[in-house]
Amino acid sequence: EQMRSDFIANASHELRTPISVLLGCIQTLRGSARDDPEAQAEFFGLMQTQAERMSRLVDDLLSLSRIELNEHTLPSEQVDVPHIVRQVVEALAFNAQARGIRIETDFPGELPTIPGDPDELSQVFQNLIDNAVKYGAEDSIVRITARVARDDIPPSLPGESACLAIAIRDHGEGIPPEHLPRLTERFYRVDTARSRELGGTGLGLAIVKHVVNRHRGALTIDSEPGEGSIFTVFLPAAGVKSEPAAA
């Protein structure tokens, strides 16, 4: 109950800021900026930015609630994860290029398909690769690797003998260790102002965690401040035995 009410308070707070800005702009456009085309252009720009921010927030909130609804049903389609990752990389190429970042993929030819939900998995890699591009250093490399993991499966997946492991490594500012345990909480950010400036909602990793839970997988985060971060998604590749972790 506490988590639920905190969540509603946080979501309302996140929406309240852009709404106040929009109301302020409308008031100014009807008042002092009524006959000032230069000021009008500026306020319309501001309104667009804030409306886009609200739109991203509502999209992420809806995704999260949709994923939570499905969380206890196992996905049944067979999915080619490297193919999904390549599509996401293509879609993010423009953003990466704008920051001088090169995204490299290293996928061996023979990787198993896994039972999964293609749309949800696409969102997982979209969020993780987008973060790597946003928080990676300018003119650096984001490297994505895929492999079958057997000996280093996270302890939270005790029954699994093989997982598909997809790792996304960036060379950016990294994350101080004290933040790592809370990073997948909704609206948790290391630097809220910076996240907002980059267009972040603070919900990306919460969405990743829920999708990975639904797939009975695991997410690990390794980071070295000043060096960069590695986000690894483990997805069971042979049989499904464990129950999803509590939300």
Question: Which residues, listed in sequence order, are joined to residue 142 by a DSSP beta bridge?
Answer: 103
Choice between 77 and 139, CB closer to ligand ADP? 139
Length of the chain: 247
Q: How far is the CB of 205 from ligand ADP (least distance, A)?
A: 4
Q: How far is the CB of 128 from ligand ADP (least distance, A)?
A: 8
Choice between 159 and 176, CB closer to ligand ADP? 176
Task: Report residue 9 CA to chain centroid gap.
Answer: 21
Choice between 108 and 226, CB closer to ligand ADP? 226
CB contact set of 158 (below 8 Å; sequence gap of 6+): 242
Residue 200 half-sphere exposure toward CB, CA atoms < 13 A:
27
Instruction: Give phi and psi for 93, each to the nearest 5.
Output: -55, -40
Asked if 245 and 224 count as a contact pair (C-beta separation under 8 A), the reply is no
Positions in 204-243 near ligand ADP (CB under 6 A): 204-206, 229
Q: CA 142, CA 228: separation in Å to the nearest integer?
A: 10
The number of residues that bind ligand ADP (CB under 6 A) is: 21
Choice between 57 and 237, CB closer to ligand ADP? 57
CA-based nearest residue to 148, from 136, 163, 128, 160: 163
Q: CA 121, CA 194: separation in Å to the nearest integer?
A: 26
Choice between 17 and 27, CB closer to ligand ADP? 17
| Structure tokens that stand for 60 in this block | 């992420």
Positions in 162-201 near ligand ADP (CB under 6 A): 170, 172-173, 175, 183, 189-191, 195, 200-201
Q: CA 228, CA 60: separation in Å to the nearest integer?
A: 25
Q: How far is the CB of 195 from ligand ADP (least distance, A)?
A: 3
Q: Mask: binding to ligand ADP, 125-164, rule CB under 6 A, as x and -?
A: --x---xx--x-----------------------------
In 31-172, which residue ranges form alpha helices assigned H by DSSP?
A: 37-70, 81-98, 118-135
Choice between 33 and 57, CB closer to ligand ADP? 57
Q: How far is the CB of 47 from ligand ADP (least distance, A)?
A: 21
Q: How far is the CB of 218 from ligand ADP (least distance, A)?
A: 17
Residues that bind ligand ADP (CB under 6 A): 127, 131-132, 135, 170, 172-173, 175, 183, 189-191, 195, 200-206, 229
